[in-house]
Structure 1
Amino acid sequence: MERQEEEDDMVCLDQSFFIDDNYQLTTFTFGSQVLQLLCLQSASTDFDLTGQLVWPGAMLLNDYLSKNAEILQGCTIIELGSGVGITGILCSRFCSEVVLTDHNEEVLKVLNKNIELHASSDNPEYCAGLTAEKLEWGNSEQISQILQKYSRGFDLILGADIYILNCYSFALIIEKQSSITSLFDTVETLLRVRKEGTCKFILAYVSRAKTMDSLVISEATQRKMQINELVGTRSIVGNLEGVIYEVNL
């Protein structure tokens, strides 16, 4: 009887308990490019809702891309872990086609809202070819569905701050190691669609744990990928050290 009463008193929390969708329209400036996006100023790390806000790695990558916009001109791009879409939307001002991806349904909602926001702006040409797709890293079915739609593949794969980590336990390290493996499974599949060397993965990485730093490098080298730090990109963002890597086969 006592056990039954304890079970009756238990409260089971689902994702809806953590969801905050009170997004603020926020202005970001990268060089001459000004973006307005819906995002949160903070978000729950439970149920993988980190994509509801803009992280330092995205700021680092957007700053780099705005200064080197020539590498985007006329390109087709897929972004992994797009979150609210700040990088993909910036790229849409230079690229011919941009596919933004995320796996979290709640994050995909705000991502699509931001796409709609830019489609209704004074310069709708900026979002030409800008679409969102659901993609969980390592999910071969979802990757295949995307490649059926975009059979020619992509010129660039982008990722920024896509494995947020506060490293408190060994179990969490193992979990994130698995996530990095799934990430590179996805990247490798996308890179191989194009002839060797004609597609690149540009990764804005922010160091939060030395263990993770080495895991990213080792995952790429174990797959015989070339991973190179782009000269002049190492900087402090949000009190953390960030750098941009270029990865290819």
Structure 2
Amino acid sequence: MEGEEDEDEIVCLDQSFFINDDYQLTNFTFGSQVIQLFCLHSASTDYDLTGQLVWPGAMLLNDCLSKNAEMLQGCSVIELGSGVGITGILCSRFCHDFVLTDHNDEVLKILKKNIELHASPENPNCCTGLVAEKLEWGNIDQINQILQNHSGGFDLVLGADICFQQSSIPLLYDTVKHLLQIRGKGRCKFILAYVSRTKIMDSLVINEAIQHGLKITEVAGTRCVVGNLNGTIFEITLQ
């Protein structure tokens, strides 16, 4: 039967087919801070596993934060789309506590592995106050669960190179606005390291912030070329 032949041709692949977990221990330097962590050096075949890499925006944000470490002193910080955790690990050397989040279970595995690596007493730059949590943007239940453990909210929300899919940007700002409102106007800000890849996304990132009642401002002096792409840092606050 023709229908049966068509069914025979359907191939179902297990999710593990897409997963590349050949992580390499890699050194990164930001100012006087040296960070060693596990990551991939090339992209996975699964678009959803972009968090296994260290992307140019993370390098941009970490360079900026390492030069302005005083802004982190004593702060409580949450990062959206933490990936392998390179920003959180750097910040934890200065801030009070740091919550790293990602939505992908496979990425969360390597994120937690890197936290364990840096939380070891044998590590001369032992980082404390690092926690990894699952967070899908726009998922109020997951956001509230995190806020139950951090009832005072956060001083800073960070994001580095997290604007890839157009459909995710409204959900990103839904999440950001919810987190900013916990502390109230002027008491928390979202710092976004943005790397330009398409003009559509350039406009969307700015316009969606405005539509969510947020003020978005480019941080002076942060525009530069990272990984052959134009990058900049935005500061986003409640109106």
TM category, shorter: over 0.9
- 2:186 corresponding residue in structure 1: 197
CA distance in 2 between counterparts of 1:119 and 1:224 reads: 38
Number of residue pairs the alignment of both structures matches: 238
CA RMSD of aligned residues (A): 1.3
- 1:10 corresponding residue in structure 2: 10
Amino acid at match of 2:211: Q
- 1:51 corresponding residue in structure 2: 51
CA distance in 1 between counterparts of 2:77 and 2:197 reads: 27
Per-residue CA shift, 1:80-132, capped at 9, x if unaligned? 00000000110000011000000000000000000000011534764211000
1:86 corresponds to 2:53: no
- 1:235 corresponding residue in structure 2: 224
1:47 is displaced (CA, Å) by 5.0
1:11 is displaced (CA, Å) by 1.1
| CA contact 1:85–1:114 (8 Å) conserved in 2 | yes
CA distance in 1 between counterparts of 2:159 and 2:126 reads: 21
CA distance in 1 between counterparts of 2:155 and 2:180 reads: 9
1:206 corresponds to 2:195: yes
Which of 62-71 and 216-225 deviates more? 216-225
- 1:31 corresponding residue in structure 2: 31
Amino acid at match of 1:55: W
| CA contact 1:100–1:131 (8 Å) conserved in 2 | yes
CA distance in 2 between counterparts of 1:177 and 1:50 reads: 15
1:183 corresponds to 2:172: yes
Per-residue CA shift, 1:58-84, capped at 9, x if unaligned? 000000000000100110000000000
CA distance in 1 between counterparts of 2:200 and 2:105 reads: 30
1:107 corresponds to 2:80: no
Structure 2 unmatched runs, 5+: none
Q: Secondary structure at the match of 2:11?
A: coil
Question: What percentage of residue pairs aligned between the two structures are identical?
Answer: 72
In structure 2, relative to structure 1, the CA distance for the partners of 1:206 and 1:145 (3 Å cut) is same
Per-residue CA shift, 1:202-223, capped at 9, x if unaligned? 0000000001001010111122
Which of 7-16 and 239-248 deviates more? 7-16
CA distance in 1 between counterparts of 2:14 and 2:188 reads: 40
- 2:234 corresponding residue in structure 1: 245
CA distance in 1 between counterparts of 2:73 and 2:126 reads: 13
Amino acid at match of 1:225: L
| CA contact 1:15–1:47 (8 Å) conserved in 2 | no
- 1:143 corresponding residue in structure 2: 143
CA distance in 2 between counterparts of 1:26 and 1:65 reads: 20
CA distance in 1 between counterparts of 2:125 and 2:59 reads: 23
Amino acid at match of 2:206: I
In structure 2, relative to structure 1, the CA distance for the partners of 1:15 and 1:163 (3 Å cut) is farther
CA distance in 2 between counterparts of 1:210 and 1:62 reads: 25
Q: Secondary structure at the match of 1:192?
A: helix
1:34 is displaced (CA, Å) by 0.2
